[in-house]
Chain A
Amino acid sequence: MKPTDIAAPDYFHKVVDCQWACPAHTPVPEYIRLIAQGRYSDAYMVNWKSNVFPGILGRTCDRPCEPACRRGRVEETPVAICRLKRVAADFKDDITQRLPRPSAKNGKRVAFVGGGPASLTVARDLAPLGYHCTVFDGDPRAGGMMRSQIPKFRLPDSVIDEETGYILGLGVEFKGGHRIESMKALLAEKYDAIFVGTGAPRGRELDIPGRKEAAASIHIGIDWLSSVSFGHTDKIGKRVIVLGGGNTAMDCCRTARRLGGEDVKVIVRSGFEEMKASPWEKEDAIHEDIPILNFLVPVAFIHDNGKLTGITFQKVKAEYGAKGRRNLVPSGEPDQTLACDDVLVAVGQENAFPWIEQDCGIEFDKWHMPKVDSKTFVSTNPKVFFGGDAAFGPKNIIWAVAQGHDAALSIHKMLSGEDITERPLPEVHISSQKMGIHEWSYDNDISNDKRFKVPHRDKVIALKDIRTEVELGYDVKLALGEAERCLNCDVQTVFSTSLCIECDACVDICPMDCITFTQNGEEADLRQRLKAPSLHPDQDLYVSSDLKTGRVMVKDEDVCLHCGLCAERCPTGAWDMQKYLIEMTHAGSSCPTKSRSAA
């Protein structure tokens, strides 16, 4: 193999698995260390810069970081990254002084359609640069689906108010209750750029017999949730069936439990394991006495002269085709009818752009989705950008944020007369963490603790009030314990070939057997000759250039604990622990600089 090019920003970025997996590339270990030090406001600002909604995401994020977390490959469970984010939000001081100041206007106007996370992220990036940002939303308050679809017992209004408030406070104009009905009319207002962040607002229908007749008791999940959210709906029947296996279904069933549903069931077509809902959301539902029944396909709504009485299901089983594709086929057992008073249909969301006229220069594909560039987020109309669910279909808040940052960068570049396809590299700050012979500026003593559980409110109390938040969040002590579980993967093991005397000290001390000195070879061959088996070929090998004996140093990055013992036991300083702080370049950041301080 060729020597690893550690100057390429992606190499060490990939080692920080959580940050690499996060769509917004939040520097996770950096803020977790700040939490451990009790520097909650600093931790919050690291988050705020990167993911804009730490308090909201700390409660609701889909956590792509956690399955990626290296700790999950070393022991059973990853670090509770998401809930630590909430800790930063919960315990921070007043941070308003740290927010960017609204700057003098640069005379350029940007309109935003929809006031959800994507639009607000773009506005957050552009407003401090002097753009006049106007956000239009059909709802009276900002937040989009974060406010309308996420139940208050998971995400209180106060958190949304606070974090949307920080953005609107940057001088962003918010026009609530103002739904944009025509793109043509909006274009006619001569904005310099338009950002569409309208989400995926339409719940998918379930067209089976009885749907029309029993319509009064059949509700589309996301519409019903927003109706609950705005106080228009405050009760439901005693027996409720929720159809669908995603996170919306989980929100529906738990909401139903709080509005009078006593016998609430979730029924999914697939198997329990393949459900789209996050495992922890399923757990929370089950904890609230909501059974999840699987392999049942609804075939008809049963009604008595329009009054819903139940649903008939066909029983299916999973069969796997030649390419491992799963097919649900009838199991042959008799159909099953389950009685209910109300049904919540949460079988998916769709995009809908009835307000975009055909002659706006915005082209749509055969799935009726706008043609959007996946890097720049520009549509076929160079002044119109899309982001969030509106661009590529339903995903999670953190994706909307990540896309918002990219779209903001495009808009800023376009309006600065630059080529929007040229994307800047992330900023990388490198610094040795060595403080003394065996002292590091990070805590390298590995905690053996198992993942700490987030305390929940007592179920009896939680189910009584739909606005009572269920999760209480970590207290300071639990947060410290959980923060200590982080392996500091951003503190990288950096190897200097010229200093190595091949004494084997690093090999001998490494608790994870990551390091091997051997003859060079092709990657597949090298992976066979490592000191411990290579379990994850997607994890890189760090290969040095040739050493004095003609061998090379090969380090499997896979399960490195970043404990720094290789560097402590190295007599010549050939190993050093260097922190790589990698930050995505947002609109208006200065040119990426590389800084390196000597070991």
Chain B
Amino acid sequence: MTYIAKPKFHHPGLKKNELGYTHRDYEGKISTLCAGCGHDSITASIIEACYELSIEPHRVAKISGIGCSSKTPDYFLGNSHGFNSVHGRMPSVLTGANLANRDLIYLGVSGDGDSASIGFGQFAHSIRRGVNMTYIVENNGVYGLTKGQFSATADRGSKSKKGVTNTDNAIDLVAIALQLGATFVARSFSGDKTQLVPLIAAAIRHKGASFIDVISPCIAFNNHAGSTKSFDYVREHNDAVNRLDVLVGRDPIAVDYAPGTVQMVEQHDGSKIALRKIDADYDPHDRLGAQTFLARHAAKGQIVTGLLYVDPDAEDLHEHLNTVETPLNTLEADTLCPGSAALDKFNASLR
């Protein structure tokens, strides 16, 4: 790891966002991950997305579990709320926090071990309930902290650094998220920020359970020939269905794509996603179609990336439960305890 702090100086010509911040203002501490780790690029992409959306750092809660991936919230948004939870328990902690205060932006950061093994159930239920969050899995297919054993997302037939072949079937988290009703599902690659940054931005603006599976090569244990999560393999087998731009605010960004290939998706909060189709037949509003498409391409050894499914009018857990809008910590005593008259009235309604 790097011993020195990242210098405070920044490029004198850096642009500032609406809040007057540069992208450097969204950084956290210097990374302690291995040099070249894909996770650091995801960190940089989160920083870039938050900067571009002019998010106030104190409006964000970043929550993680255990693992290389779950260390990363220390490296971005140094002025945001953070909770580094028990292994695999990020979704529960996030759900609880979200229920207590729906005003914050919830960023759940997890890994393939944290979400596909020990926290598989947690992952499933947070998606199923439609918690309003951005759930990012930094997926490298190995347990990096324990020296590179296969994780549950490692493809069957792929080889470990030592040459051992994986005989277990892989969990495809994107397929599961689609099946469980996530309303924003995407897959991307840490080595392709032009795709990843807008995906994270769109996911943050999405109301409902957003899930992004980011393939993130482990330089130390899973970037060799025989791996299906290496830089080279992913670049060779990447089948992007679309590219997107997120349009926020009143000034629409001019999108200079050929007409007819751009599909505008308006999200619940008024922000727009300009989807540039690469695969002309791919429809990101068709959940069933997406599942079939994924399965067909996975069988061919292709890694489908892009925005795979979005429901712009999704509801979230708060709407399902009809909860109070005010964050619990700002509810005054007279609201929480409206007195015996209110209790009597309530009891009467149940008789």
Contact = CB atoms under 8 A, between A and B. Distances in A.
Contact of A532 (B3, B14, B35): B14
Nearest to B44: A508
A571 B40 contact: no
A514 B10 CA distance: 10
B36 interface: yes
A509 B10 CA distance: 12
A512 B10 contact: yes
A502 B219 CA distance: 12
Nearest to A556: B11
Nearest to A505: B36
Nearest to B6: A511
A505 B35 contact: yes
B2 A569 contact: yes
Interface in A55-84: 73-75
Contact of A563 (B4, B15, B31, B37): B4
26 contacts: A73-B12, A445-B4, A445-B5, A446-B9, A502-B231, A503-B36, A503-B231, A504-B40, A504-B41, A504-B193, A505-B37, A509-B40, A511-B6, A512-B9, A513-B10, A513-B11, A513-B14, A514-B11, A532-B13, A533-B11, A533-B13, A533-B15, A549-B235, A559-B9, A570-B36, A572-B36
B1 interface: yes
B8 interface: yes
Contacts of A595: none
Given A503-B191, A568-B2, A75 B9 contact: yes
B36 A511 contact: no
A561 interface: yes
B243 to A, nearest CB: 16
Interface in A524-541: 532-533, 535
Interface string A497-523: 000011111011101111000000000
Contact of A504 (B4, B12, B24, B44): B44
B9 A571 contact: no
Contacts of A507: 44
A444 interface: yes
A269 to B, nearest CB: 35
Contacts of A597: none
A448 interface: yes
A261 to B, nearest CB: 43
Interface string A71-112: 001110000000000000000000000000000000000000
Given A505-B35, A533-B11, 18 more contacts: A446-B8, A501-B232, A502-B191, A503-B38, A503-B231, A504-B191, A504-B193, A511-B6, A511-B10, A511-B24, A513-B14, A514-B11, A533-B13, A548-B232, A559-B9, A565-B6, A569-B31, A570-B35
A74 to B, nearest CB: 5
A73 B36 CA distance: 29
A594 interface: no
Contacts of B34: 571
Contacts of B235: 548-549
B219 A559 contact: no
Interface residues of A, number: 34
A438 interface: yes
Nearest to A512: B11
Given A505-B35, A505-B40, A535 B12 contact: yes
B217 interface: yes
Interface in B197-219: 217, 219
A427 B235 CA distance: 43
Interface SS of chain A: helix, strand, loop or mixed? Answer: loop
A505 B33 CA distance: 11
Contacts of B15: 533
A559 B11 CA distance: 7
B69 interface: no
Interface residues of B, number: 36
Interface of A: 73-75, 438, 444-446, 448, 501-505, 507-509, 511-514, 532-533, 535, 548-549, 559, 561, 563, 565, 568-572
A528 to B, nearest CB: 13
Contacts of A513: 10-11, 14
B4 A444 contact: yes
B223 interface: yes
Contacts of B183: none
A508 B27 CA distance: 11
A571 B38 CA distance: 11
A322 B1 CA distance: 58
A563 B4 CA distance: 9
What are the 6 tightest A-B residue pairs by CB atom distance, in nearest-first order?
A571-B36, A446-B7, A532-B11, A508-B44, A533-B13, A445-B4
Contacts of A563: 4, 7
A565 B9 CA distance: 13
B43 interface: yes
A257 to B, nearest CB: 40
A561 B41 contact: no
A557 to B, nearest CB: 13
A438 B2 contact: yes
Contacts of B37: 505
Contacts of A570: 35-36
A97 B232 CA distance: 60
Contacts of B7: 446, 448, 511, 561, 563
Contact of A569 (B5, B36, B191): B36
B12 A503 contact: no
A563 B9 CA distance: 11
Nearest to A71: B9
Given A438-B3, A511-B6, A505 B11 contact: no
B12 A559 contact: yes
Contacts of B232: 501, 548
Contacts of A514: 11
